[in-house]
């Protein structure tokens, strides 16, 4: 029998940071309808379940990354057809941010394929942050590992959120990435929190990990000193030329279970569908929303008016009676106690990598 105590309907469990692996596995073992019922109860205890927050990710510096993340087409060592670009100009970034705002995004995330930014890059990124924020958008960045000083400099420029994913369970991390350690991730997250920014932190499933390792990812996220404000749950996008191309696909119901358990473990966080969403059916996305997902990612290629993917999203929202969360409401959520986070992911860039 599950070791998790039953939750009363629509209950709001206290925020916990001491989840045991057996407890998370017990949630995975629940009958699917029971798990979704619990997750939906937690969702509506903290959020309007008809609202979905929309973020946009722009790759401001693509490809050529020295890291070896097994899922990522931007790693220089893999032959994926992604061409390395230089850092975009502030002017071009601002033009994209205006498009994102017009498309309904409330948060704009700037991603750069770096192991970590060089100190000389920080003033350039800071200028982008200042100008995007001046448009009335929330700002987020994902730039790789940050030192304490760099985190403070970005915060001073007005950065609201920093994305840095745990990617997977600690014990599976070494199977996916060999150029940095799990502790490096934790250190950057600590610098981000220390600088007073919100954290966006999640992971990727479908990389060949076991259910226990999926539980380990969620356990690690929930047991951080503060729950991430945003928790992107990515489904692996298999890109030819990366080591993870050809990995056995994850059962879609297992993906929904992962979303539901993220919602239960981190009740006040935004649980985001990001990379991999383009290949999900409308029905699967609807199940994810039912399981507590309340945020989505628009990639930069989705920004152009009349883009079929954008139209599909808008049609799905209309069919499901969902509406984009407005910035003013997002601020109310952010004001909630207990440290939550923001969003974006190098991994999400992979969703658009073929087009990059």
Kindly indicate which of the ranges 43-51, 70-78, 267-275, 279-287 contains the residues binding ligand SF4, using the contact rule CB under 6 A: 70-78
65 is known as an active-site residue: yes
Nearer to ligand SF4 by C-beta: 74 or 220?
74
**Catalytic pick from 101, 263, 272, 277?**
272
Which 8-state DSSP code applies to residue 338?
Answer: S
**Catalytic pick from 72, 201, 288, 341?**
72
Q: SS3 helix, strand, coil % of the chain, rounded to 5? A: 45, 15, 45
How many alpha carbons fall within 13 Å on the CB side of residue 268?
A: 21
27, 57, 75, 192: residue in contact with ligand SF4 (rule CB under 6 A): 75
- Token digits of residue 245: 């191309």
25, 30, 35, 69: residue in contact with ligand SF4 (rule CB under 6 A): 69
**CA angle 270–273–274, rounded 5-degree value:** 115
Asked if 72 touches ligand SF4 (CB under 6 A), the answer is yes
Nearer to ligand SF4 by C-beta: 65 or 128?
65
**Catalytic pick from 140, 201, 288, 341?**
140
201 is known as an active-site residue: no
Specify the DSSP element, H or E, that contains 351: helix 346-351
**Catalytic pick from 38, 107, 185, 200?**
200
Query: How many C-beta neighbours within 10 Å does residue 146 have?
Result: 25
* Measured distance CA(322)–CA(344) in Å, rounded: 22
Site string for ligand SF4, 92-131 (x = CB under 6 A): ---------------------x------------------
DSSP string, 62-127: -S-BS---TT-TTBTTS-SSPPP-PPPPHHHHHHHHHHHHHTT-SEEEEEE--SS--GGGHHHHHH
Contact 209, 168 (CB under 8 A): yes
Asked if 65 touches ligand SF4 (CB under 6 A), the answer is yes
* Bridge partner list, 139: 108
Asked if 346 touches ligand SF4 (CB under 6 A), the answer is yes
Nearer to ligand SF4 by C-beta: 132 or 176?
176
CB of 36 to ligand SF4, least distance (A): 31
Nearer to ligand SF4 by C-beta: 145 or 320?
145
Tell me which residues touch ligand SF4 (CB under 6 A).
Answer: 65, 67, 69, 72, 74-75, 113, 144, 346-347
The catalytic residue positions are 65, 69, 72, 109, 140, 200, 272
């Amino acid at each position: 029998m599950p070791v998790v105590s039953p939750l009363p309907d629509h209950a709001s469990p206290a925020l916990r940071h001491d989840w045991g692996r057996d407890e998370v596995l017990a949630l995975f073992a629940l009958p699917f309808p029971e798990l979704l019922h619990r997750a939906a109860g937690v969702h509506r205890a903290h959020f309007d379940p008809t609202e979905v927050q929309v973020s946009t990710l722009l790759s401001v510096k693509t490809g050529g990354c020295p890291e070896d993340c097994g899922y990522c087409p931007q790693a220089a060592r893999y032959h994926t057809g992604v061409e390395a670009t230089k850092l975009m100009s502030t002017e071009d970034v601002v033009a994209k941010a205006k498009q994102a705002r017009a498309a309904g995004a409330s948060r704009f995330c700037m991603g750069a394929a770096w192991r970590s930014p060089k100190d000389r890059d920080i003033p350039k990124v800071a200028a982008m942050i200042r100008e995007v924020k001046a448009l009335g958008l929330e700002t987020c960045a994902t730039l790789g590992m940050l030192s304490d000083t760099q985190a403070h400099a970005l915060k001073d420029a007005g950065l609201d959120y920093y994305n840095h994913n745990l990617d997977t369970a600690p014990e599976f991390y070494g199977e996916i990435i060999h150029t940095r350690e799990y502790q490096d991730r934790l250190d950057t997250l600590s610098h981000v929190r220390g600088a007073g920014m919100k954290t966006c932190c999640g992971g990727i499933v479908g990389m060949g990990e076991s259910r226990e390792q999926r539980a380990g990812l969620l356990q690690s996220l929930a047991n951080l000193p503060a729950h991430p404000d945003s928790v992107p749950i990515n489904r692996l996008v298999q890109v030819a030329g990366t080591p993870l191309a050809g990995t056995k696909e994850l059962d879609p119901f297992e993906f929904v279970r992962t979303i539901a358990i993220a919602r239960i473990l981190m009740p006040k966080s935004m649980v985001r569908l990001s990379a991999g969403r383009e290949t999900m059916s409308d029905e699967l996305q609807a199940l994810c929303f039912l399981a507590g997902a309340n945020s989505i990612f628009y990639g930069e290629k989705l920004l152009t008016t009349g883009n079929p993917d954008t139209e599909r999203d808008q049609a799905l929202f209309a069919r499901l009676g969902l509406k984009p969360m407005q910035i003013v409401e997002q601020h109310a959520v952010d004001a909630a106690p207990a440290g939550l986070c923001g969003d974006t992911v190098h991994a999400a860039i992979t969703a658009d990598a073929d087009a990059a």
